[in-house]
Structure 1
Amino acid sequence: MISEKNKEIIENYIEAYNSFDLEGMVKLLHKDILFRNFSNGTMDTETRGIQEFGELAEKSSKIFSSRHQTITQYHAEGDTTEILIDYEAILAVDLPNGLKLGDKIQLKGKSVFGIHEGQISLIEDYS
């Protein structure tokens, strides 16, 4: 069962993410945050530490004119919490994969959060 404190930390992070509040996201992170993104079963991005994460978050925020993650389910497993999400975003730029400015992206995914000393120490996103 997920603790109320961990649930609050995760929800605050998602709220900051949805509103492009990079400072709000970073303040919830452990200094040694490990972030990984997996797409179609392959890890395509990894950052270690707040500086690398902040740089990626800044770059990523410029790709979308809007973005919204909705948590649909929580599952605690040991020292991690998995959330299932519905994700929707509108592109602010053309992408090399053929998606264009204004295109809408919708997908379902999951994120795994590790929380250490009251801060997020691990985020793994799967889509």
Structure 2
Amino acid sequence: MIDPVEESLIRAYVEAYNRFDIEGMLATLADGVHFEHHAGGALAVATDGKAEFEKLARVGAAMFASRRQTLVSLEEQEGRVAATLDFHGEIAEDIPEGPRAGTVIEMRGTSAFGFDDGRIALVIDRA
């Protein structure tokens, strides 16, 4: 069974993400949080600590005119909580050698969350 405090932290993190509320996201995180984003089976980016996470979160938020993660399911796996999430986002500006402004991205991904001392200490996103 998933710890209700951990579920609450995940839901608060996702809700803050959807509101582009970087401060709200940071409030759920441990100071030494480790973040990884994997795309196409490869590690695309990783950060250690709140300061690095915040920089990446601000860059990521600026890429989207709108974005929304919808929590599909949560399950306990190997001492972590695995979340299945649907993502819908619209690119804000043309990305060099990437999608153009207005491009809509929809996908299903997973995020593994680890916890320490009542905060999220690990986020591993896979798209």
TM-score, normalised to structure 1, is 0.97
CA distance in 2 between partners of 1:85 and 1:96 (Å) = 27
Shift of 1:97: 3.6
Q: Tell me the SS of whatever aligns to 2:96.
A: coil
TM-score, normalised to structure 2, is 0.97
Number of aligned residue pairs: give it: 127
Shift of 1:77: 1.8
CA distance in 1 between partners of 2:72 and 2:88 (Å) = 13
1:112 aligned partner: 112
Q: Tell me the SS of whatever aligns to 2:113.
A: strand
Aligned 1:75-114 pairs, distance under 5 A: 75-114=75-114
Identity %: 33
Q: Tell me the SS of whatever aligns to 1:121.
A: strand
CA distance in 2 between partners of 1:12 and 1:49 (Å) = 19
Q: Which amino acid aligns with 1:32?
A: G
4+ residue runs over 6 A deviation? none
- Any stretches of 5+ residues in structure 2 without a counterpart? none
Aligned 1:1-127 pairs, distance under 5 A: 1-127=1-127
Shift of 1:96: 2.5
Q: Which amino acid aligns with 1:38?
A: H
Q: Tell me the SS of whatever aligns to 2:43.
A: strand
Contact 1:79 1:115 in 2 (8 A): no
Shift of 1:98: 3.2
